[in-house]
Amino acid sequence: MKVLANDGISQSGIDALKASGFEVITTNVAQEQLISYINENQITVLLVRSATTARKDLVDSCTSLKIIGRGGVGMDNIDVAYAREKGLKVINTPASSSASVAELVFAHLYGGVRFLYDSNRNMPLEGELNFKGLKKAYAKGIELRGKTIGIIGFGRIGQEVAKIALGVGMRVIAADKFMEAATIQVVFFDGQTIDVTIKTQSQESLLAEADFISLHVPAQNDYVIGAREIEQMKAGAALINAARGGVVDEVALLKSLENGKLSFAGLDTFEEEPKPAMQVLMHPKVSLTPHIGAATGEAQDRIGEELAQQIAEILL
């Protein structure tokens, strides 16, 4: 049986699939040629990440397919319900990349409170001639310790963010429509652990209390953070979105950065991917990454191995 990993898969995932007897193809097939390629090569399993889509036309046209797998959490690039109605198994790896996404959140946070998003742009331009001026411009940083982080969406990734925040010494508050409380286990390098139970609260109260807000919600039809929600935030608060594009009103966000309501934003996902708005990309108060939350070697190894295990359990 053939597995097409159209957006790539880690070597450990390839090895695990081959050990179970699968033929693994890592050719990147263009979206418009994907249906014909699957049919010509009698592909049994299609694995995607965020670049490739698997819509109704592909499900209807590719009769050899038995499994569509998403290496990661969100499956908005797959017509999941339709595929399952047609008898296909649709799988993903919701836990494998949680820690990597959480660490990226803190990369944006630390970069934000010490102005790295801007100093990394200006040091190459002005560092030689205006070192003292830049030093003064970036001298009003703050520490994360003792501050309040508000996590909207308290699933696996939100809880991983909470673990890091607790270790940093932050106060953690959370909002989640489907959960009343969660017990977070913080694991230290030597095996010691502490358990912290966090009760969720309303989004409105979280917005009013948090110094920093991190979003961990699935794709939505409406904005989770728009002009109304930004108005409810503390003056000088900051927003991180390493969840999905389209959950933040980017026009309202940029306006809040311009008028000083928010101090900075960190964005890993965007309303318009793969072509984010130029106003967002050029804004001096936005820390930017190109949707790389799960893009660590460790996460990709876990994703590949988990996909291989699920595929073997279904087909063998």
Same domain assignment for residues 83 and 155: no
Please tell me the predicted confidence (pLDDT) of residue 176.
98
Listed residue (156, 151, 158) closest to 210, CA to CA: 151
Residue located via tokens 């790896």: 93
What is this structure's pTM? 0.90
pLDDT in tens, 166-190: 999 999 999 999 999 999 999 999 9
Please tell me the predicted confidence (pLDDT) of residue 40.
97
Tell me which H or E stretch contains 106: helix 98-113
**Interior/surface letters 23-38, b for 16+ CB within 10 angstroms, e for the rest:** ebbeeebeeeebbebb
Name the residue range of residue 38's domain.
Answer: 2-94+297-315
Same domain assignment for residues 61 and 180: no
Same domain assignment for residues 40 and 143: no
- Confidence bin at 194 (pLDDT 50/70/90): very high
Q: Are 168 and 145 in contact (CB under 8 A)?
A: yes
Same domain assignment for residues 60 and 142: no
**73 has pLDDT over 90:** no
What separation in angstroms does the CA of 124 have from each of 114, 119, 133, 140?
17, 9, 14, 20
Peptide bond into 94 cis (omega under 30): no
pLDDT in tens, 24-33: 999 999 999 9
- Confidence bin at 264 (pLDDT 50/70/90): very high
Q: What are the catalytic residues?
A: 244, 273, 291
Same domain assignment for residues 112 and 254: yes
Same domain assignment for residues 83 and 228: no
Same domain assignment for residues 140 and 34: no
Same domain assignment for residues 170 and 254: yes
**260 has pLDDT over 90:** yes
Please tell me the predicted confidence (pLDDT) of residue 50.
85
Q: Are 232 and 202 in contact (CB under 8 A)?
A: no
Residues 149 and 236: their CA atoms lie apart, in Å, by 13
Please tell me the predicted confidence (pLDDT) of residue 92.
96
Please tell me the predicted confidence (pLDDT) of residue 95.
87
Same domain assignment for residues 16 and 122: no
Q: Is 297 helix (H, G, I), strand (E, B) or coil?
A: helix
Same domain assignment for residues 121 and 70: no
Q: What is the mean pLDDT of the chain?
A: 97
pLDDT in tens, 109-159: 999 999 999 999 999 999 999 999 999 999 999 999 999 999 999 999 999
Strand partners, 148: 171
**192 has pLDDT over 90:** yes
**72 has pLDDT over 90:** no
Q: At 231, which CATH number? A: 3.40.50.720
Q: What's the total number of domains in the chain? A: 2
Q: Are 102 and 80 in contact (CB under 8 A)?
A: no
Same domain assignment for residues 110 and 250: yes
Same domain assignment for residues 30 and 161: no
Give the mean model confidence (pLDDT) for residues 203-210. Answer: 98
